[in-house]
Amino acid sequence: MNNKKVILISVDGMRPDGFLNCKNAYIEQIMEKAYYTLDGKTILPSVTLPCHMSLFHSTTPERHGITTNIYLPMARPINGLFEQLKNAGKVCAMYYGWEPLRDVSRPGSLKFAEYINAYTEESADTSLTDSALARIRKSKPDFVFLYMVDTDEKGGHENGWMTDGYLKRISIAVDNIRRVIEECGDEYTVVITADHGGHDRTHGTDLPEDTTIPMFYIGEDFEAGKRFTGGSILDIIPTIAKIMDVLPADEWEGTSVI
């Protein structure tokens, strides 16, 4: 085990071409700093809670059993990233703007958490970033999960994927990512991904627009400015466990990219 720290940012519904077309100049710097893919794959159904359960447990819905946005406890529970980190003595924090996401960790795994209701806050993503940065300054948690939802709900669902209204929300998310990298990039590896994409005003299908996601790894363990092809959402937490030198759970199906 080492003392490396990681921040994982999930930008809900961020298509790779949404990222590329959001007209935020900082995307160039993200690609210069990152080992990254623009054609990674999420799981089916391409829906928020199933995708995040797969992200945090490195298993498909066939194994974790969550196929809708309603959480059900697993019949045969497996440890996700939060549980493995907690068992290794690591301090974890989570900032999220959509309440059902609380179930991606089991009770007792988090030391710090903040939920902001995105439906009643103009920019929950910005407020959550403020909160996460304040906690990082104060406590330096080993692992921080920052979840941004405005891109999906107020971007894609309200306006349609790839519309100006959607791209504007992506640009705000990139502004928040910039703040995280500029303030924490020396001390933390920063991993950025999305749970799924979208088309028209919806997602959940097996269309490439819904299932293709970007992944960016920024830190000393990665070759900066190098793009790779493919990759699965299931690979993200095995990679984070490898960075932090924490054992993966036996059930995890993904493969570390390092």
Say how far apart CA 89 and CA 94 lie, in whole Å: 16
The Cβ of residue 194 has, within 10 Å, a number of other Cβ atoms equal to 30
Q: How near is the Cβ of 139 to Zn ion at its closest, in Å? A: 28
Q: How near is the Cβ of 196 to Zn ion at its closest, in Å? A: 5
**Cα 220 to Cα 143, 174, 177, 187, 239, distances in angstroms:** 16, 21, 18, 10, 13
Cβ proximity to Zn ion, 69 vs 256, nearer residue? 69
Cβ proximity to Zn ion, 12 vs 150, nearer residue? 12
Q: How near is the Cβ of 13 to Zn ion at its closest, in Å? A: 5
Say how far apart CA 142 and CA 147 lie, in whole Å: 17
Cβ proximity to Zn ion, 61 vs 248, nearer residue? 61
Cβ proximity to Zn ion, 97 vs 141, nearer residue? 97
What does the buried/exposed string (b/e) look like for 84-94 if buried means 16 or more CB atoms within 10 Å of the residue's CB? Answer: bbbeeebbbbb
Q: How near is the Cβ of 120 to Zn ion at its closest, in Å? A: 19
Q: How near is the Cβ of 100 to Zn ion at its closest, in Å? A: 11
Q: Determine the Cα angle at 146 with ends 221 and 126, to 5°.
A: 125
Q: Which residue is nearest to Zn ion (CB)?
A: 48
Cβ proximity to Zn ion, 37 vs 48, nearer residue? 48
Q: How near is the Cβ of 69 to Zn ion at its closest, in Å? A: 9
Interface ranges with Zn ion (CB under 5 A): 12, 48, 152, 195
Cβ proximity to Zn ion, 5 vs 203, nearer residue? 203
Q: How near is the Cβ of 72 to Zn ion at its closest, in Å? A: 18
Q: Which long-range contacts (CB under 8 A, 24 or more apart) does 155-161 make?
A: 155/13, 156/13, 156/198, 156/201, 156/203, 157/198, 157/201, 157/202, 158/201, 159/201, 160/200, 160/201, 161/13, 161/15, 161/18, 161/197, 161/198, 161/199, 161/200, 161/201, 161/203, 161/209
Q: Among candidates 226, 232, 221, 250, which has minimal Cα distance to 196?
A: 232
Residue 58, both tokens: 């490195």
